[in-house]
Structure 1
C-alpha cells in the first residue's frame, strides 16, 4: 500500500484530533453529563471544548514533531490510549494514582482475568492498525532549523488559540470542571501520565525507615484477672470485594447468608464504610492507626501498624494469604502464602485455590500454639471480573451466571448472579471458620470485614477502584461482623447484647485498629477509646 507524502506540520493536528475524538468516548459522556446533559443549545460548547483539547494536544505533540522522534512517540501513545480507552469503556473506571497502584500491585493471575479477545480486538483496531499506518506514512521534513521554526509556531499558535477559546468558554467550563473533578481522570492519555506521576511521587517519597508504633503495648488487667492459663485465638478475616448490600444479613432479597443467619452470638454491623475503594489502599489503611481523612500511603508505610502492636503485646500474629499479598502490613509477622495451587488438592485448580484452603491445618495450628494467637485470613473473596471462578461448583445456587470476563456479553442479572454466588461461598467460609474456632475449645473470636465493595453495572460502572471522593456507595459500603465464643466474651467482659444494640450505628475501617486493641484488652498510648466500637460494651469500661 502506497501512501501520499504529507508535510510534517500536519502530523500533530491529525494525531491530536484522532486522540481527542476516538479514544475519549468515556470522557465525552462524562463531560456532556457534567454540563447538564445533552442539549442542542450546548452544541457550540461541545464543539468548542473539542477544538480546545485538539489545540492543546496539537501544541504538545508539536514539541516532539521531529524526524525519528514523532512516530515512536505517537505509536506509544496510540497503544497506551487503546488500552486505557478499552478498560474505561468496558468497566466504567477512571484512571488515577490508585488505579495505577492497582495495576502495579496486581499479580499475574488477577491481571490475566482481565484479558479477553475483545481486548485484543480493541487494541488491534485502535492501537496496532493506526500505529502501523503511522509507521508506514511517508512524511516530508525540512531542515532541522526549519522544523524548529515551524514547530515553535505550531506550539505558540495552538496555545494562543486554546487560551482564547478557554476565555470564551470559561463561564460554562469552570463550574463543570470544578464540580466534576473526575473529568481529569477520564481524559486519555493525559490521565495515565498524571496518575503515573502521582503514583511515582508517592512511591519514591515512601520512608525507608519504619517508625515503631505502640512499643508500650501490654496486656491489660482482664488477662491477669481471668484466672486461667488457657490460650485465646482471634481470627481476623479480610474479605475481598464484598459489598454490604448483597448480604442477606443486611436485607438483600436473595438468601446469600443462610449459614451465618443461623449462627448464634454473631453480631452483624450494617452501616460500615471502607477506607478506600481498592485493596492497595484499604488494606494498609485499615491496619494502620490512621483515619481515612489522615491516611496516605507514605504515612502508613513509614510506621508500624496493628499487627506490630499486637506483637509488642506478646501475641503471636500470623497472616495467611489467598490473595495478592498484604500490601506491606504483614512484613514483620509470620506470613503463609496459601494462594499457590497445590497439586492433588481438591480445594485448588490449575490457577488458584478456593478460600477454604485458608482453613487447612488451622485446627492443628491453634492446638499446637504456645502463645495467644491472632490469625489474619486474607480472602480471594469476590474478586472480579471472573466471579464464577471464586467458588466451587456446588455453590452455583443463583443463575444463570456470567462465565466470561467480557462483561458486556452478559446481562446485569447474570453478572449479579455470579457475584451473589461468591457471597454465598463467603457465607460458607465464615461459618466454617467459626466452627473451627468452636471446635478448638479455647476462648475465641472472629472479626470479618471486606476491604471494599464492587460496582455491578450501576450507573454503567463495574468492578472497583473509583476515586473515593465520587465513588458510588456500592464500592464504599462493606460488610462487617463479629463472633465471640462464650469463653472469650466472659474473659474480656464483652456484652454481646450491647454489641448487637450498636450494630446499626455508622462505623468504618477507622474503627478496626482501636476496636481490635480494645477487644483484646491491649493497653497502649496509641489506643483511642473514642474509635473503639466495642468500648461501650466492656462491662468494666
Structure 2
C-alpha cells in the first residue's frame, strides 16, 4: 500500500499542484461570485475569468515556493489544505466571509456553541478536500533544491510567478478593476489568503503590548432627579443576541412573533435601528463604548473605559448577568454572574445550556441585597444559530415544521425560518416577563424601574443564499445590520426623570443606531458628565422642565 501512497516529486511541481488545488477546489464560492461579477460565464467573459484564475495560481505558487524548504514544506502545505477545506465548507454552506472579526468569533465562541456546527457532512468535506491531499503531501518523497543555489532558484521561481501574475493583471486591469471595486467581498472569499490575513490581524491585536485602560467619565455625578429621593432605581439593559428587526411583528413581520410585547402598556418600539457590527465580538464592545461605529476599533475600546464604568463613577451599582459567551471585556470592572451553565437546582436549564429565563431568577432578591441604585445588564442567548431550536423551550415551537438541527443542508429554508421565528417568540415572552416583574417591583416594592432592549446584530436566513452573520459591515445585508430596540419604564421612573413618554413615542420611527445607546442611558438616568453628547441622547428632547 505504501508504495502507492509514496511518490517522488520535485518541490516546484508540488507547490504548483497545491496552488492549483487551493485555487480551484478550495474557492468554489470565490469563483461563483467572480463569474456573476463578470456578467456570467460566456465567451466574452472567458478571458477575464481564465486570466483571474491564472493570477491566483501564480500568486499562490509564489508564496508556496518561498516555503518549500525541507522540514517546513510538508507541515505548511498540509495545514494550508486542511484549513482551506474547513474555510471553504463554512463559506459554501453558510455563505459567510472570513475576516478578522470572524476569526475573533472562532476563538471567543464557547465550546458548546462551536459543537453545534459539527456534523458528518463537514467531516466528510474536510476529509476529502483537505485530509486526502494532506495525506498525499505527508507521504510524498519531495526533492528539494539544496544549498545557496537552491535558495536562489526558489527566489527566481517566486519572482517569476509574481512577474507573470503582474503582467496578466496589467493586461486585464481595465476589466478587473471595476469588478473588484463593486465586489469588495471577493477578498474575504479567496482561500487561504482570507484566513491567513485575518488570523494575522487577530493575533497581532491579541498579543500586543499590555493594555492600559484610560479613564472615562470620572466627572460623572447624579443630577437633580436624584436629589432627595428615597426610592431606589433599577434599570435593566437587555442585550439581545442575533435578533433581527425584520422578524419582529412589532416591525411589520407577517408572523405574530411578538404577541405579548404588542400588549405591553407603555412599551415604545423603535423601528429603524442599525447595529455597530455584524458579530457579537464587535457589536457588544462597540455599543458600550463612547466611540460610535465610525470611530470604533477593538484596540481603542480595550484601552478606554466604557458606559458601565461611567455609571459606576456616578455611584450606581452595575451587575452583568450572562447567558452567552461573556461580555467581550465590557464588564471587566463590574460585578459579573455567569448563568449560562447548568448548576444543581438551577431552573430553566436542560442538557448543557440554560434558556434566557434564568437571567430573571432572583432579580428582586438581587435588588434588595444590593440596597443601592442598580443597573443590571442581561446578556441573552437569544437567537444564536445555527441550532435555533435549542434556544427556546419546546413549548415555544409554535411555527413549524422547524429545523431541529444545526445542519442547514438537512432543512428547507422555511424550516430554518420557523426555528428562528420561534426564538423571537421566546424572546417576546422573556422580555414580557422582565417587564411584568419590573412593573410589579415598582408597584409593590417602591423601586423606580425601566428596561432598554436592543440586539447586538441581526441574522441572515437564506436571503441571497447567505446564512448566519459576521459579514463585513460595508457590504453586509440589512438583515444582519437592522436590529430591534425598545424601551419601557414604570410611571414612577418617568415621573422621577421627567421623561415624556408621548414625546419619546413620536421618535420611534426616526433613524437610530447603537451609537445612541451610550449617551441615551446616561441621559435617561440624569448622569451629568462631559462625555455625554446630548445630540445622541434620544431622551434629551423628551425631558420635561422641572
Give 1:97-496 correspondences, 5 Å limit: 97-205=100-208, 208-224=211-227, 227-441=228-442, 442-496=447-501
Residue equivalent to 1:533: 538
CA distance in 2: counterparts of 1:222 and 1:69, whole angstroms: 67
Q: Which moved more, 1:265-274 or 1:182-191?
A: 182-191
**Alpha carbons 2:347, 2:358 under 8 Å: kept:** no
1:60 is the counterpart of 2:63: yes
CA distance in 1: counterparts of 2:453 and 2:28, whole angstroms: 40
TM-score by length of 1: 0.97
Residue equivalent to 1:28: 31
CA distance in 1: counterparts of 2:469 and 2:545, whole angstroms: 42
Residues 66 and 215 of structure 1, relative CA distance in 2, 3 Å threshold: closer
**Alpha carbons 2:302, 2:329 under 8 Å: kept:** yes
Q: Unaligned regions of 5+ residues in structure 2, if any?
A: none
Residues 15 and 367 of structure 1, relative CA distance in 2, 3 Å threshold: same
**Alpha carbons 1:218, 1:523 under 8 Å: kept:** yes
Cα distance, 1:468 vs. partner?
0.4
**Alpha carbons 2:320, 2:379 under 8 Å: kept:** yes
The CA RMSD measured in Å over matched residues stands at: 1.5
CA distance in 1: counterparts of 2:422 and 2:157, whole angstroms: 57
CA distance in 2: counterparts of 1:138 and 1:201, whole angstroms: 35
CA distance in 2: counterparts of 1:144 and 1:258, whole angstroms: 75
TM-score by length of 2: 0.96
CA distance in 1: counterparts of 2:69 and 2:291, whole angstroms: 50
CA distance in 2: counterparts of 1:40 and 1:263, whole angstroms: 61
Q: Give the match's secondary structure for 2:353.
A: coil
Residue equivalent to 2:45: 42
Q: Give the match's secondary structure for 1:24.
A: helix
CA distance in 1: counterparts of 2:142 and 2:305, whole angstroms: 58
Cα distance, 1:40 vs. partner?
2.9
Residue equivalent to 2:94: 91
Q: Give the number of equivalent residue pairs.
A: 539
Cα distance, 1:146 vs. partner?
5.0
Cα distance, 1:365 vs. partner?
1.4
CA distance in 2: counterparts of 1:217 and 1:141, whole angstroms: 67
**Alpha carbons 2:68, 2:144 under 8 Å: kept:** no
Cα distance, 1:222 vs. partner?
1.6
Q: Unaligned regions of 5+ residues in structure 1, if any?
A: none
Residues 140 and 212 of structure 1, relative CA distance in 2, 3 Å threshold: closer
Cα distance, 1:480 vs. partner?
0.2
**Alpha carbons 2:39, 2:45 under 8 Å: kept:** no
Cα distance, 1:271 vs. partner?
0.2
CA distance in 2: counterparts of 1:16 and 1:307, whole angstroms: 49
